[in-house]
Structure 1
Amino acid sequence: MRSLGVKEARLDELTFLGDLSACSHGGFVDEDRQFFECMNQNWGIKPRIEHYGCMADLFSRAGLLDEAFSLVQNMPMKPNDAVWQDVAAVRQKMIKLGVRKPPGRSWVQINGVLLDYVGGDSAHKHASLIYKMLGEITMQAMREGYNPDLSELFLGMKE
């Protein structure tokens, strides 16, 4: 609106819904995130379930399934079927196509040497050092109040 020179325009719930939907279909993840955050902060408009549905759709379309799932789980209202439907549909499509989320990749510096590894890679030549250091870092963080979310630790692992 402002880019069109309409400075006095008052954005409302429908304006935000239209923008979120357009960004979702256009793949503008960062823009939509900012727009969603400014709804309440800048305009005093509390997102409704439809706004959360657009965000879940955006994240799902962009392959950010963990973010979509987290958003839905942490909404201030109970998710309805439409919200979950977007996330579930994209997950099913990814399964049919054989698309998998790449494993996490991290770096750790040990004795001045930067090492990289892929999550779950126990074959790495420095795996024992890396996991030892990560364990120490995790323990220090927990002593300082960090509470790790382990709820998705075993998702995707075969029995």
Structure 2
Amino acid sequence: MDSLSIRSLLEDLKNADATVREQATKKLWRIWFQQKGIYGLEKIDNSQKLLDAGETTEAEKVLSQLIEEQPDFAEAWNRRAFLYYSIGDYQRSLADCQMVINLNPVHFGALHGMGLCYAALGKYREAIQAFQNALKIQPYSVVNQKLILECTFRIS
């Protein structure tokens, strides 16, 4: 998909119409997951099945191999960041989220993930910044708005 289409979808995330925003969000996720075609999508799907089955070590191996083969595949980094977050390895999750942002600066999922990691580490100011950065892309995200309030409450 060309950058004009992606820019249009990013603008749709700021639309007052919730249906327009939801469709744009789904399309962006689809683009990100399909960036490397069927092979990348199958590997991510396989890793998710392993993760769902509690086989985190195997899921990590699949994602790490995919990242080694295709280091510019932002969603592979994002899925591994999610895996690390899910097992409480917040530092490694943060590092992978940062790689996602380096590859895809508008990846609101990775920005949200960074916020979750910072909050889990008790770094509430950094968490707020990450959630605010996600809101610049998805201004109607209620979850990020709520998390900013929660982190602000924890600071005060």
When normalised by structure 1's length, the TM-score is: 0.43
> Quick check: which has more Rg, 1 or 2?
1
More strand by share: 1
When normalised by structure 2's length, the TM-score is: 0.43
More helix by share: 2
Higher relative CO (Cα under 8 Å, sequence separation at least 6) belongs to: 2
